Amino acid sequence: MRATHAVTTNHISTMPVPTQEQYIKMLNTAKEKGYAYPAVNVTTIEVINGALKAFAEAKSDGIIQVSLGGGQFASGTAVKDSAIGAIVLAEATHRLAEEYNVLVALHTDHCQADKIDSFLRPLIAESKRRVEAGLKPLFNSHMLDASALPMAENLKISQQMLKECAEVGIVLEIEIGVVGGEEDGVDNGDAPNEKLYTSPEDMLLTYETLNGLGTFMLAATFGNVHGVYKPGAVKLAPKILRDGQEVVKAKHGEDMLLVFHGGSGSDLCDIREAISYGVVKMNIDTDTQYAFSKPIVMHMCQNIDGMLKIDGEVGNKKVYDPRSYLKKGEQGICERLQLACEDLLSAGKTLYGQI
């Protein structure tokens, strides 16, 4: 598990957080070989450590990402600045990842158009500062979510942001259509049904608008919903991805790198089918939140007398010490992410030391 901060094999030098060339190679290799990377949202050091441990034990490369809300939380209740918190979490990941022998890319999740100037651009500026100092960008990729806007406006903003990211060597992820449900304070529960299913024509338009400006990933919608619902409540249609990819490839000879949003609770058959159509990244947040919280709740319930000072008692420091239960949360998220690596077929396929 432990790395030596740099590994050289046949003149190949690898650090756990990939260079942009290595990151693009990761994405293309996953697409070519039929697997995808779990992308887990992080909010604390414990979640980062659980994710890193999971990827290392599964011998899988992976993606750690920060949302607007996650960044705001990490900056503290007095600061509440999404960009500052994202920088803190990213810097911590860069340093902690050096102890592991897998590649771990850094990504930001769902930035709406009205948050570009307060979130994306400050992070791009920070990456530019690092590059000018001879370092890697802070993040490997960013997600612009302008999907609530009309398609033409979405793609116009996407063009501009892709150019800005490409100048610093950063991949851009965009979304067309709308992922239903609620995540990070954004509620798309009343999205019209047609927005939940991207058309092949819109996928073709996206390719033709963005191709050649930089490397991008597309989160096309095929009935995806954020959150977890009872079986049968969510109707995924992965063949929408197939149909769109076929239209693009028929006209241009190549297709796109796709992203699966709202992966928590999805049937394995839908996950595997989506991968077969070019999905290289699947977001899994709701399931990992639960996996982190459940063992902490169990600890509280099983040790309630020691957690609280009641009727003049002094409690039990061994059980109310935050380390006693947060490490259980870390292990919980580790175990759930290892399962995700198996589901996405990335387990055992790390490219660490090979690219």
Give tens-digit pLDDT for 138-169. Answer: 999 999 999 999 999 999 999 999 999 999 99
The per-residue pLDDT for range 236-263, each reduced to its tens digit, is 899 999 999 999 999 999 999 999 998 8
What mean pLDDT value characterizes the chain? 91
Concerning whether 109 is annotated as a catalytic residue, the answer is yes
Segment 178-195 shows an average pLDDT of 51
Percent of the chain having pLDDT more than 70?
88
Rounded to whole angstroms, the Cα distance separating 52 from 61 reads 9
For residue 55, pLDDT beyond 60: yes
Residues 6+ apart with CB under 8 A from 250: none
- CA 94-99-101 angle, 5° bins: 100
The pLDDT of residue 180: 45
Pairing state between β 257-260 and 279-283: parallel
Segment 6-22 shows an average pLDDT of 69
| Whole-Å CA distances, 111 to 17, 103, 195 | 22, 24, 18
| Residues 299/324, Cβ–Cβ less than 8 Å | yes
What residue type is 70 in one-letter code? G
The pLDDT of residue 234: 60
DSSP assignment, residue 135?
Answer: P
Does the pTM surpass 0.75? The reply is: yes
For residue 30, pLDDT beyond 50: yes
The per-residue pLDDT for range 106-119, each reduced to its tens digit, is 999 999 999 999 99
| Whole-Å CA distances, 233 to 164, 181, 228 | 39, 12, 9
Residue 316, SS3 per DSSP: coil
Where in the chain are the domains? 7-343
26 phi and psi angles, rounded to 5 deg: -55, -50
Per-residue tokens: 38: 């779990």
Identify the active-site residue in 109, 145, 285, 343.
109
Q: For the domain with range 7-343, which CATH number is right: 3.10.520.10, 3.40.470.10, 3.20.20.70, 2.60.40.420?
A: 3.20.20.70
The pLDDT of residue 74: 98
| Residues 220/174, Cβ–Cβ less than 8 Å | no
Within 10 angstroms of residue 46's Cβ, the number of other Cβ atoms is 21
For residue 184, pLDDT beyond 60: no
Rounded to whole angstroms, the Cα distance separating 40 from 330 reads 13
The residues facing 142 across adjacent strands are 108, 172
Q: In terms of C-beta density within 10 A (0-12 exposed, 13-18 middle, 19 or more buried), how is residue 185 classed?
A: exposed
Rounded to whole angstroms, the Cα distance separating 309 from 120 reads 45
The pLDDT of residue 23: 98
User: Per-residue confidence at 195, pLDDT binned at 50, 70, 90?
Assistant: low
User: Per-residue confidence at 194, pLDDT binned at 50, 70, 90?
Assistant: low
The pLDDT of residue 235: 79
Segment 49-61 shows an average pLDDT of 98
Rg (C-alpha) for the chain, rounded Å, is: 20
Q: Which of 71-85, 214-228, 233-247 has the lowest mean pLDDT?
A: 214-228
